[in-house]
Structures are given as structure tokens and as C-alpha cells.
């Protein structure tokens, strides 16, 4: 069975609509797909209609932006209930914060001599409530400030660079509560990507377990094969299950296409075994 439990649509920073995403997943042989838009669940209903037409098993998901100590983390919720009021309200609050962050990012870029970036980013954001750094990145590529989005992130959109502004995302405990309260499973997304040393990783995992976390994303487009092994070991040590997903955003963006998800290392307990 081909499983992909992390993907994005135009409801956040993906390039395909929810229906197109489902179609691409089916054509690439995916049997079970989770749509996990950033801080947004409005794509789940259209994805579900498409999935029913194609006979794809769709898992309702979300990827919540969280602030933990000085680090921004992403927590994926799988098998969530999209009608759970605290989850719906919590995500709406994060999206409102995004709007303010986008304005501050644009001011910061303007101070560095790049004007019009908010309007530019908005043109790429199909969902007006969800302007992300990816939309700014696409605009900065369009206007010739860098060769591709990766280069834009390096030069403009990461800590210390002109378009980066600190932001207070949701608290980890709140995000976990919204997910679990809705009946979902909380997954620590792409842990290898965070700027944390081993001691900090251990502290995060301990807290994640105490808060009722279910799984670690072991296989993801952000991990190297060596990191698959490292995070499989962490998962095992902390009694966590393992998740796997491409983190697909669109054709030609990112490292892995939808469904291009290598098998979990031996010894992992797949988080989807209970779905
Ligand atoms: P935001 O949630 O608005 O801060 O945007 C985060 C998104 O930016 C991530 O989900 C990725 O899609 C994208 N992103 C982050 N870092 C990079 C990078 N180095 N290159 C390309 N895209 C990135
Ligand atoms: Mn993204
Ligand atoms: Mn992420
Ligand atoms: Mn993602």
C-alpha cells in the first residue's frame, strides 16, 4: 500500500487545488493520502469529494505552526475532526496572526529596498487568509531577486535576513490539545529540519510525549536517508509511532513528488496501522 501523510494544496502554500492534488496522488499510485495544509482545513471537503470519486483513502489532516521556546515547529494532525470547534477557532486565530506577520514582512522587505511584496505575495495566495513565506518567495523569484524559492529563503526569508520577522505562533500544548480533542493523532513534522541540538531534541520529544504526541515524521521530503534512521531510533526510544509523507507542494517545487515516499526503516510502527 502506498501511503503519503503530508501534502499541501492551494488552501495553504501548495500549487494544486485539493481536487487536482487528489487526482495527481491517484495517478501516481497513492492509496492513502493526508491533506495537511498549514493552519487551514478548508481543503478537506473538496479533497474528500474528489477522493470518493477516485476511490482514494483520504485522511483529514492539518499542519499547525507552533512556537516552542525559540523555535518554530510544525505539528501535523492526522484523522482530525474538521468540525471540532476549538480546532477550528484555534486555526482561525493563527491565520489572523499570519495576516499581521505578512504586513510586517512586507515592511521589513520595503526597508531593504523591495517594495510591493505584500500585494505580490497576495497574488500567489489563492486563500486570502493564508499568506505564507512561500508566497513571498514566489513573488521574489518573479521579480528577479533570486533564482529559485530555495535561494530566496536563504537570502531573504530565514532568521537574520531582511524579510524574516519573528512571530508568535500557537503554543505547543494548545495545538496538541486541539488535535487530540478532535480525535486526531499529533505528529512531530520533519524534526530533522529544526535548528535544535541533541539535548534540545530530547527535551522536545519528552515534552511531546507528555502532551500525548502519537508519532514522529520519520520519512519526509526534508530528511536525508541518514535522518530516516536517526529519527526512527528516536521514535523507538520514546515509544512513538512513525509517520511518512512527501510534504509535496507542487510540481517542480520541493524534493519529493506526491507518493514518492520511501518505506520506513525496520522496527518502526507505522502511525497509519490504526487507520
Ligand atoms: P510559513 O509557514 O509562512 O513560515 O512558511 C513556511 C513554508 O515555507 C514551509 O512550509 C515551506 O513550504 C516553505 N519553506 C521553508 N523553508 C524553505 C526553503 N528553504 N526553501 C523553499 N521553501 C521553504
Ligand atoms: Mn509549506
Ligand atoms: Mn512543515
Ligand atoms: Mn508541510
| pLDDT tens, residue by residue, 206-239 | 999 999 999 999 999 999 999 999 999 999 999 9
Q: How does residue 2 score in pLDDT terms, banded at 50, 70 and 90?
A: very high
Q: How does residue 120 score in pLDDT terms, banded at 50, 70 and 90?
A: very high
pLDDT of residue 255: 87
Q: How does residue 254 score in pLDDT terms, banded at 50, 70 and 90?
A: confident
Strand partners, 242: 216, 270
pLDDT at 86 over 90: yes
How far does residue 269's CA lie from ligand 4's centre (Å)? Answer: 22
Q: How does residue 116 score in pLDDT terms, banded at 50, 70 and 90?
A: very high
Q: Distance between terminal CA atoms of the chain? A: 13
pLDDT of residue 253: 87
**CA distance linking residue 246 with residue 177, whole number of Å:** 25
Place of cell 510525549: 209
Mutational test site, ligand 1, from 109, 133, 221, max ligand atoms within 8 Å of CB: 133
pLDDT at 8 over 90: yes
Closest by CA to 128, choosing from 137, 118, 138, is 118
Pick the residue whose CA is nearest to atom 5 on ligand 1: 133
Specify whether domain 95-155 bears CATH 2.30.40.10.
no
Strand partners, 217: 243
Q: What is the residue extent of each domain of the chain?
A: 3-91+168-274, 95-155
Calculate the CA 211 to chain-centre distance: 20
Place of cell 520577522: 165
pLDDT of residue 60: 98
Joined together, the cell numbers standing for residue 70 give 525559540
pLDDT of residue 88: 98
pLDDT of residue 252: 87
Closest by CA to 270, choosing from 163, 170, 185, is 185
pLDDT at 109 over 90: yes
**CA distance linking residue 194 with residue 228, whole number of Å:** 15
Give the pLDDT confidence of 34-72 residue by residue, as tens digits.
Answer: 999 999 999 999 999 999 999 999 999 999 999 999 999
Residues with CB under 6 A from ligand 1: 13, 38, 65, 132-134, 149-150, 153, 249
Place of cell 493523532: 185
Q: What angle, 0 to 180 degrees and rounded to 10, lies between the N-to-C axes of helices 133-142 and 117-124?
A: 110
pLDDT at 246 over 90: yes
Pick the residue whose CA is nearest to atom 4 on ligand 1: 133
**CA distance linking residue 144 with residue 116, whole number of Å:** 14
Return mean pLDDT, the chain.
98
Q: What is the CATH number of domain 3-91+168-274?
A: 3.20.20.140
Residue % of the chain over a pLDDT of 70? 100
Burial of 1 (0-12, 13-18, 19+ CB in 10 A): exposed
Amino acid at each position: 500500500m502506498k501511503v503519503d501523510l503530508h501534502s499541501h494544496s492551494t488552501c495553504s502554500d501548495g500549487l494544486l487545488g485539493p481536487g487536482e492534488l487528489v487526482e495527481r496522488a491517484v495517478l501516481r499510485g497513492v492509496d492513502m493520502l493526508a491533506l495537511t495544509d498549514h493552519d487551514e482545513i478548508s481543503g478537506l471537503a473538496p479533497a474528500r469529494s474528489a477522493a470518493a470519486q477516485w476511490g482514494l483513502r483520504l485522511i483529514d489532516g492539518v499542519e499547525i505552526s507552533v512556537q516552542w521556546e525559540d523555535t518554530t515547529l510544525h505539528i501535523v494532525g492526522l484523522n482530525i475532526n474538521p468540525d471540532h470547534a476549538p480546532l477550528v477557532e484555534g486555526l482561525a486565530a493563527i491565520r489572523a496572526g499570519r495576516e499581521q506577520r505578512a504586513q510586517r514582512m512586507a515592511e521589513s522587505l520595503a526597508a531593504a529596498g523591495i517594495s510591493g511584496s505584500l500585494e505580490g505575495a497576495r497574488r500567489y495566495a489563492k486563500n486570502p487568509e493564508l499568506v505564507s513565506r512561500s508566497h513571498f518567495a514566489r513573488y521574489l523569484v518573479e521579480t528577479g531577486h533570486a533564482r529559485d524559492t530555495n535561494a530566496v529563503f536563504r537570502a531573504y526569508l530565514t532568521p537574520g535576513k531582511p524579510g524574516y520577522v519573528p512571530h508568535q505562533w500557537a503554543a505547543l500544548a494548545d495545538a496538541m490539545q486541539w488535535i487530540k480533542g478532535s480525535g486526531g493523532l499529533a505528529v512531530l513534522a520533519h524534526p530533522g529540519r529544526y535548528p535544535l541540538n541533541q539535548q534540545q531534541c530530547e527535551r522536545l520529544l519528552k515534552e511531546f510525549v507528555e502532551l500525548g504526541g502519537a508519532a514522529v515524521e520519520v520519512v519526509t521530503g526534508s530528511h536525508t536517508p541518514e535522518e530516516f534512521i536517526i529519527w526512527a531510533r528516536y521514535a523507538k526510544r520514546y515509544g512513538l509511532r512513525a509517520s511518512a509523507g512527501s510534504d509535496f507542494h507542487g510540481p517542480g517545487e520541493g524534493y519529493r513528488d506526491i507518493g514518492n515516499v520511501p518505506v520506513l526503516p525496520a522496527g518502526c510502527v507505522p502511525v497509519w496501522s490504526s487507520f
